Amino acid sequence: VNLLLVGSFADDEGAAWAEALRQALPSHHLLLDRKPGLAIDVAIVANPPPGSLRGLAGLRLIQSLWAGVDRLLGDETLPAGVPIARMVDPAMNEAMAETALWATLSLQRGFYRYAEQQQQALWRQLPQPRADEWPVLLLGYGQMGRQVARRLAQQGYPVTAWRRHAATAEAAPGVTLCQGRAALQLALAGARVLINLLPLTADTRGLIDAELLARLPPGAAVVNLARGAHLVDADLLAALDSGAIGHAVLDVFQVEPLPAPHPYWRHPKVTVLPHAAALTDLRSAAAMVAANIETLARGGTPTHLVRRDAGY
Amino acid sequence: VNLLLVGSFADDEGAAWAEALRQALPSHHLLLDRKPGLAIDVAIVANPPPGSLRGLAGLRLIQSLWAGVDRLLGDETLPAGVPIARMVDPAMNEAMAETALWATLSLQRGFYRYAEQQQQALWRQLPQPRADEWPVLLLGYGQMGRQVARRLAQQGYPVTAWRRHAATAEAAPGVTLCQGRAALQLALAGARVLINLLPLTADTRGLIDAELLARLPPGAAVVNLARGAHLVDADLLAALDSGAIGHAVLDVFQVEPLPAPHPYWRHPKVTVLPHAAALTDLRSAAAMVAANIETLARGGTPTHLVRRDAGY
């Protein structure tokens, strides 16, 4: 089949993807540019510029290299009726679990505060709560949420995972599942750390606002690993400055890269990551894409298809 | 039995210990000062000033509130022949495992470098190695080492634990044990992170020197969670400055508190913790002390006795 790779790549990232995909799909034809008269079967996309896929007749699959497809679905020129598959990469899920565990350990044990103290050459021991005294609330329980929940529970944290809707997914050992608005309000009141892993949809945009933050106990922390637009920045900054929220770990922002003058960069209670909580792993991601394309070539149905109406 | 609490306590730490011990040992008599004519059965000590136990005739047990007894054993006025028990606190072992896991995650995923980048408002993603590509070498495999090894292996790191002597301890799942100098040199060559958890003895003092550091691969990290005197500071600083060692996480120092002018405080490749990798947890530690004293009162043999000749 004919494959077209389209994305907004930094530096030689596009070349690295092309190389990994060609190795994983040796019997198919990968193009980096549209050629007049050549029909494309599969578009492999990574944050493609809007309009990139316009007019691609005969397209049978759009395979995203990103797990989040909110920007992709926002492109109104996207060919209608073509199935979209998102990236589900076990190595990426594991990377997300590592970041969530690192942030939770850092918050529980005061390691962000020790880093601040180091800057002042200040020698002072902080309280040492146990993991079982440090409840974590996850928003979202998809592929990534499940791996995050499993790792945190394995390390001894009481984990509650909240979903917007009841679903059939089973809870991992040590994980409590809940759903709906009322359950969320209850769960917020008991959480030391709130970790956001939701998909960005019309329903979840701006979910983490002043009202939600006010339901967390004093000094609780916010860890946003999903999308910048889930969070109302002004509300978070106000809660940090009043002390209502103790710390925030932010990997995603309304505008990326985060502009240099943004107050998050220099806020003593904010840890900024450059959208690096879970990078796609070229090796395992190319293998997942290849499996989907071989399935399609054999006439089967690719996995991890997006529901366009749900937005993820 | 009559108990005497002696230590070098900060602020109201001594009062908190006295309170926790009295609650855990309601049927015994806890003194905070020696009284003429009153025989002391058990001295409960936390870094006691040298000479504190001189002349305590009839002493049946010295119970340390610290896991490390190197300073205690250095006191030449310590009554001879009295058994010494050290602290083995499951909550403290778990706290040590948390710190080791946090340091390893931070090194593997570049979180110390992201913190540096934040100070410069620099948005740059770093390589994302997988845990199974990030071998960890533990020096020491006692009570703490075992818990650290278990947690790291559970998280997917290849873990090798080195002991000075062959011992009967079994390896936890995913942990490789080795012993002796030759095995150490081999293990160093394959390690991305070296974590020190050894007891401080005449054998281990200054073990982490230029020669040992030179056997680690370029850019490997050193995490010292044991005693400052295990490490030759000038050798580490030289290796950090040449780039041979990529980062150091130091919880313990030759002089504590670490003096404000010490270069470690301001070194961009050094993370300083204020001897807080594993604080004694009053609640579980008082329970452990109480169990040992009840055993003694019943005529039994206390647990976790120190071999004075071995030094730990």
**Cα–Cα distance between A88 and A94 in angstroms, integer?**
11
* Cα separation values, B212 from A77, A200, B206, B226, B235, Å: 61, 50, 10, 17, 10
Q: What order of strands is seen across the sheet that includes strand B42-46?
A: B29-31, B2-7, B42-46, B61-64, B84-85
CA distance A102 to chain B (A): 6
In a mutational test of the B interface, the residue from A117, A152, A272 whose CB has the highest number of chain B CBs within 10 Å is: A272
Please tell me whether residue B131 adopts helix, strand or coil conformation.
helix
User: Interface of chain A against chain B, CB under 8 Å?
Assistant: 91, 94-95, 98-99, 101-102, 105-106, 108-111, 114-115, 117-118, 121, 123-126, 128, 130-131, 151, 154-156, 256-258, 260, 265-266, 271-276, 278-279, 281
CA distance B101 to chain A (A): 8
Amino acid identity of B280? T
Residue A311 confidence class, pLDDT cut points 50, 70, 90: confident
Nearest CA in chain B to A126: B276
Residues with Cβ within 8 Å of residue A178, at least 6 apart in sequence: A160, A161, A162, A163, A184, A186, A187
Q: Do the beta carbons of residue A208 and residue A196 sit within 8 Å?
A: yes
Instruction: Report the pLDDT value the prediction gives residue B37, as an integer from 0 to 100.
Output: 87
What is the H or E stretch that residue B104 is in? helix B90-109
Question: B105, A101: Cβ pair inside 8 Å?
Answer: yes
- Chain A partners of B106 at a C-beta cutoff of 8 Å? 102
CA distance A20 to chain B (A): 16
Residue A309 confidence class, pLDDT cut points 50, 70, 90: confident
User: Interface of chain B against chain A, CB under 8 Å?
Assistant: 91, 94-95, 98-99, 101-102, 105-106, 108-111, 114-115, 117-118, 121, 123-126, 128, 130-131, 151, 154-156, 256-258, 260, 265-266, 271-276, 279, 281
Instruction: Report the pLDDT value the prediction gives residue A168, as an integer from 0 to 100.
Output: 65
Instruction: Report the pLDDT value the prediction gives residue B312, as an integer from 0 to 100.
Output: 86
β pairing state of A159-163 and A175-179: parallel
Q: Which of A28, A215, A275, A304 is catalytic?
A: A275
- Chain A partners of B152 at a C-beta cutoff of 8 Å? none
Q: Which of B102, B110, B272 sits opposite A118 (nearest CB)?
A: B272
Beta-carbon pairs below 8 A across chains A and B: 104
CB atoms within 10 A of CB B133: 11
Q: Do the beta carbons of residue A113 and residue A303 sit within 8 Å?
A: no
CA distance B274 to chain A (A): 5
Question: B281, A117: Cβ pair inside 8 Å?
Answer: no
The residues with which B271 forms a beta bridge, in sequence order, are B249
Q: Is the pLDDT of residue A280 over 80?
A: yes
**B93-120 b/e with 16+ CB inside 10 Å = b?**
bbbbbbbbbbbbbbbbbbbbbbbebbee
Question: A256, B98: Cβ pair inside 8 Å?
Answer: no
The residues with which A5 forms a beta bridge, in sequence order, are A44
| CB-count exposure of residue A125 (10 Å: 0-12, 13-18, 19+) | middle
Nearest CA in chain B to A151: B155
Task: Please give the DSSP secondary-structure letter assigned to residue A171.
Answer: P
Detail the DSSP E strand segments found in chain B: 2-7, 29-31, 42-46, 61-64, 84-85, 136-139, 159-163, 175-179, 193-196, 220-224, 245-250, 270-272
**Cα–Cα distance between A174 and A152 in angstroms, integer?**
9
Regarding predicted confidence, which is higher, A165 or A235? Answer: A235
Please tell me whether residue A128 adopts helix, strand or coil conformation.
coil
Question: Whole-number mean pLDDT of chain A?
Answer: 95
Nearest CA in chain B to A156: B94
**What does the pLDDT profile of chain B (312 residues) look like in tens digits?**
999 999 998 878 899 999 999 999 999 999 999 998 899 999 999 999 999 999 898 999 999 999 889 999 999 999 999 999 999 999 999 999 999 999 999 999 999 999 999 999 999 999 999 999 999 999 999 989 999 999 999 999 999 999 987 766 678 888 999 999 899 999 999 999 999 999 999 999 999 999 999 999 999 999 999 999 999 999 999 999 999 999 999 999 999 999 999 999 999 999 999 999 999 888 899 999 999 999 999 999 999 999 998 888
**Cα–Cα distance between A275 and A67 in angstroms, integer?**
13
CA distance A264 to chain B (A): 9
Question: What digits encode the pLDDT tens for the residues A37-82?
Answer: 899 999 999 999 999 999 898 999 999 999 889 999 999 999 999 9
Q: Which of B156, B257, B279 sits opposite A123 (nearest CB)?
A: B257
Q: Do the beta carbons of residue B133 and residue B156 sit within 8 Å?
A: no
Instruction: Report the pLDDT value the prediction gives residue A166, as an integer from 0 to 100.
Output: 72
Nearest CA in chain B to A280: B128
β pairing state of B159-163 and B175-179: parallel
Please tell me whether residue B97 adopts helix, strand or coil conformation.
helix
**Cα–Cα distance between B43 and B289 in angstroms, integer?**
11
Active site residues of B: 227, 275
Instruction: Report the pLDDT value the prediction gives residue B67, as an integer from 0 to 100.
Output: 87
Q: Which of B105, B110, B128 sits opposite A281 (nearest CB)?
A: B128
CB atoms within 10 A of CB B154: 17
pTM over 0.90: yes
Question: B128, A257: Cβ pair inside 8 Å?
Answer: no
* Cα separation values, B250 from B195, B226, B265, B266, Å: 10, 9, 10, 13
Measure the CA angle with vertex A37, ends A35 and A43; round to 5°.
55
**Cα–Cα distance between A25 and A106 in angstroms, integer?**
41
Residues with Cβ within 8 Å of residue A242, at least 6 apart in sequence: none
Q: Which of A98, A114, A131 sits opposite B109 (nearest CB)?
A: A98
Question: What digits encode the pLDDT tens for the residues A157-184?
Answer: 999 999 987 766 678 888 999 999 899 9
Helix segments in chain A, DSSP class H = 13-24, 70-73, 90-109, 111-119, 143-154, 181-189, 210-214, 233-242, 263-266, 282-297
Helix segments in B110-231, DSSP class H = 111-119, 143-154, 181-189, 210-214
- Chain A partners of B117 at a C-beta cutoff of 8 Å? 274
Q: Do the beta carbons of residue B192 and residue B220 sit within 8 Å?
A: yes
Residue A106 confidence class, pLDDT cut points 50, 70, 90: very high
Question: A156, B266: Cβ pair inside 8 Å?
Answer: no
| CB-count exposure of residue B200 (10 Å: 0-12, 13-18, 19+) | buried
Token look-up 């090796």 returns A283
HSE-CB of A272 using CA atoms within 13 angstroms: 23
| A227 is annotated as an active-site residue | yes
Angle between helices A90-109 and A111-119 (to 10 degrees): 60
**Cα–Cα distance between A196 and A210 in angstroms, integer?**
15
Task: Please give the DSSP secondary-structure letter assigned to residue B305.
Answer: B
For residue B74, the Cα-to-chain-centroid distance in whole angstroms is: 17
